[in-house]
Amino acid sequence: MSDYQELKDLALSCGFSHVGDLDADTIQVRPEVRESCAENKCQSYNKNWVCPPACGTLEECSQKIHQYKKGLILQTTGQLEDSMDFEGMMELAENHGKHMDRFSDEIRKRFPHALILGDGQCKRCKVCTYPDAPCRFPDKKSSAMEAMGMVVSQVCADNHIPYYYGPGTLTYVGCVLIE
Ligand code: SF4
C-alpha cells in the first residue's frame, strides 16, 4: 500500500486547497450525467478524445474506474467577489487546471497507470486532434469526472469531503485513481 499521506502532501504542494481519500467502490456512473453531456451545454461533446462519445460507453467507463480501489479527491477552492464574478470563476478554473497538470506529471512518474480525472475537456493541446488524427499525448490526456458519468458532489459526499466551503466560494474538483 502506498503512503497516502505523502501523496496528499504532494497534491497540496501542487496548489490544491483540499485533498481527501477516494474509495473507488463508492463511485457510481449515472446515465443522466451522460445524457446531460449529450445536451452539449459545455460545448465539449464530440469535440475531444476524452469527452463522450470518444471516451467510451458508460459501461466501459465504469469498468475502467473499478479496476482501481483507492485514490484521492483533489479540490481547488476560491472566493468570488459575487455570483457574477465570471473573471474570478475563469481564473479559478485555470488555476485548478494548472494544479491538475502539475500533479498529473508527478503522479504519473510514480504510478504510470493512474487514472486522472479533471473537469471539462482535455486542454493539453491548443486544438484537440479529434476526430481527424490520434491523440497527441495518450499518456497525458485526462477525462472529466462528469465525462465518466460521475456526479461530482455525490462523489465528494460519499467520501466525506465537503464540496461547498461557504458563501461566495467556488470549488473545482478532480480526482486520481491510483491502485
Ligand atoms: S492530449 Fe491533445 S489530442 Fe489528446 S485529448 Fe488532450 S487535447 Fe486532445
pLDDT digits over 39-98, tens only?
888 888 999 999 999 999 999 999 999 999 999 999 999 999 998 999 999 999 999 999
Mutate to test the pocket of ligand 1, among 46, 47, 49, 116 (most ligand atoms within 8 A of CB): 49
Gap from CA of 30 to ligand 1 centroid (Å): 25
What is the pTM assigned to this prediction? 0.92
| 1 pLDDT higher than 70 | no
* pLDDT value of position 35: 87
Average pLDDT of 128-136?
Answer: 95
CA–CA separation, 101 and 97 (whole Å): 6
* pLDDT value of position 140: 83
Cell for 28? 457510481
Q: Mapping DSSP to helix (H, G, I), strand (E, B) and coil, where does residue 21 land?
A: strand
Smallest CA-to-CA distance from 65 within 123, 147, 2, 137 is with 147
* pLDDT value of position 2: 78
Check if 47 has its Cβ closer than 6 Å to any atom of ligand 1.
no
Gap from CA of 49 to ligand 1 centroid (Å): 6
Q: What percent of the chain has pLDDT over 90?
A: 82
Closest approach atom of ligand 1 to CA 123: 7
Residues making up the chain, counted from first to last: 179
124 pLDDT band, cuts 50/70/90, is confident
Gap from CA of 144 to ligand 1 centroid (Å): 13
Q: Whose CA is nearest to atom 5 of ligand 1?
A: 49
Q: Which amino acid is at 89?
A: M
Gap from CA of 58 to ligand 1 centroid (Å): 20
Smallest CA-to-CA distance from 107 within 142, 78, 153, 144 is with 142
Radius of gyration of the CA atoms of the chain, in A: 16
Average pLDDT of 116-122?
Answer: 88
Closest approach atom of ligand 1 to CA 140: 1
pLDDT digits (tens, 9 = 90+) for 162-176: 999 999 999 999 999
* pLDDT value of position 37: 84
